[in-house]
Amino acid sequence: MNLKIAVLSGDGIGPEVILQAKKALYAIGVVYEHDFIFEDAFIGAIAIDKTGSSLPEQTLNLCRNTDAVLLGAIGDPKYGTETASDTAPENGLLKLRKELGLFANIRPLKPFKGLLDVSPLKREIVEGVDFVIYRELTAGIYFGEKKLNESGTIASDLCEYSEDEITRIAHLAFQSAQKRRKKLTLVDMANVLESSRLWRKVVKKISEGYPDVALDFLFADNAAKQIISNPKQFDVILTGNLFGDMLSDEASVITGSIGVLASASLGEKNALFEPVHGSYPHAKGRNIANPFAAILSAAMLLEHFGLTEEAKKINQGVEKAIEYNVVTIDLNPDTKFGTNEVGEFISNFILNKDDLMYF
């Protein structure tokens, strides 16, 4: 298969972890005879530094005209939170999602067997957890009208959802549930928010078309508690942009590190794959960032194009690395391995090199 992949490494640890993901994809290309062509472009703080814009026109055009986008991370403390939102590095990512229409953010959560004891949660809570969060990604409070009064003392962000915006992601979530354990939980604040009440109404209606899927509802505050006290109950969680952002970070506690969580963001035409973690500025350039999330995002990319065997191979590589304890410091405080070594191990595994014992 020929795939043209736009690579937006971004800021902080982005370039380091994406390099390892590229290595894994390159190895897959060699072994399974695929032609992956990578094209790099800037986004985020680095893009502001180079071009003055967090999402340069050139980057957007490239992303529109490739099969998939592989993204690292965005954000740099030198552009503090005081930066007006339209010039902040994060805005580059929000704009990219919006422009490409990437309305469904899919964040699977299934702890690796070898990491069950790394989680601060008890083993009996973590073992057997397997759910996926469908987070709406191009609407809601992150995209609603923002206002600040002239004296800078009153601010507001509008949380708006249309029936269409709810419908398109709801269908994807129900379809996913059908292929899984057939349970869908809508997380909202329908006790308080009008937009949440619309979510419930629309999702209830759609559920009639999926009679094999059991639908239930959970308020977001309760969901935050349930996700770490009884995460096994979940199969597919469907929710809006803000709740999905928060709950997926929280859920990473289950896996022991946010450094192992991958995500896919899908639209009608485009698809983007990125780790759930951020740019982790303190770790930049220190060869300590966990490349698993970026590498597993590459696996999600392959899966998206039907390359299931190939995706599985990457997953096995990660499992093997965990088994051999070739992991970064977030997973083992005594490790002697860094970003590069972990990435190298996985690409060697994919290439079936027999020198894994070197590690």
What's CA 105's distance to the chain center, in Å?
Answer: 7
**Which partner from the list Mn ion, ligand IPM, none does 90 bind, CB cut-off 5 to 8 Å by kind?**
ligand IPM
**Interface with Mn ion: number of residues (CB under 5 A):** 1
Tell whether residue 136 is a contact of ligand IPM (CB under 6 A). no
Interface of this chain with Mn ion, residues 241 to 260, rule: CB under 5 A: 245
Measured from the CB atom, the residue of 74 and 289 that comes closer to ligand IPM is: 74
- Which of 16, 76, 90, 310 contacts ligand IPM by CB under 6 A? 90
Torsions phi, psi for 113 (to 5 deg): -55, -40
Q: How many residues bind ligand IPM (CB under 6 A)?
A: 6
- 62: number of CA atoms within 13 Å, CB side? 21
Which residue matches tokens 């991370």? 73
CB of 281 to ligand IPM, least distance (A): 13
The reply on whether position 245 binds ligand IPM by CB under 6 A is yes
For position 94 contacting ligand IPM by CB under 6 A, the verdict is yes
In what helix (H) or strand (E) does residue 184 lie, and over which residues does it extend?
Answer: strand 183-188
φ/ψ (deg, to 5) at 68: -155, 160
Determine the Cα–Cα distance for residues 159 and 242; give it in Å rounded to an integer: 9
Minimal distance in Å, beta carbon 245 to Mn ion?
4
Task: Tell me how far apart the alpha carbons of residues 102 and 87 are, in angstroms, rounded to a whole number.
Answer: 21
Task: Supply the minimum distance, in Å, between the C-beta of residue 85 and ligand IPM.
Answer: 10
Work out whether 235 is an interface residue with Mn ion (CB under 5 A): no
One-letter identity of residue 277: H
In the bound state with ligand IPM, the residue whose beta carbon lies nearer, of 14 and 338, is: 14
Q: Which residues contact 214 (CB under 8 A, 6 or more apart)?
A: 182, 183, 184
Cα–Cα dist 44/54, whole Å: 5
Please identify, among the stretches 2-10, 89-97, 201-209, 280-288, the one whose residues bind ligand IPM according to the rule CB under 6 A: 89-97
- Within 151-190, residue ranges assigned H as helices are 163-179
Q: Which stretch binds ligand IPM (CB under 6 A): 60-68, 87-95, 154-162, 200-208?
A: 87-95
**Which listed range, 21-29, 86-94, 175-183, 217-225, lies at the site for ligand IPM (CB under 6 A)?**
86-94
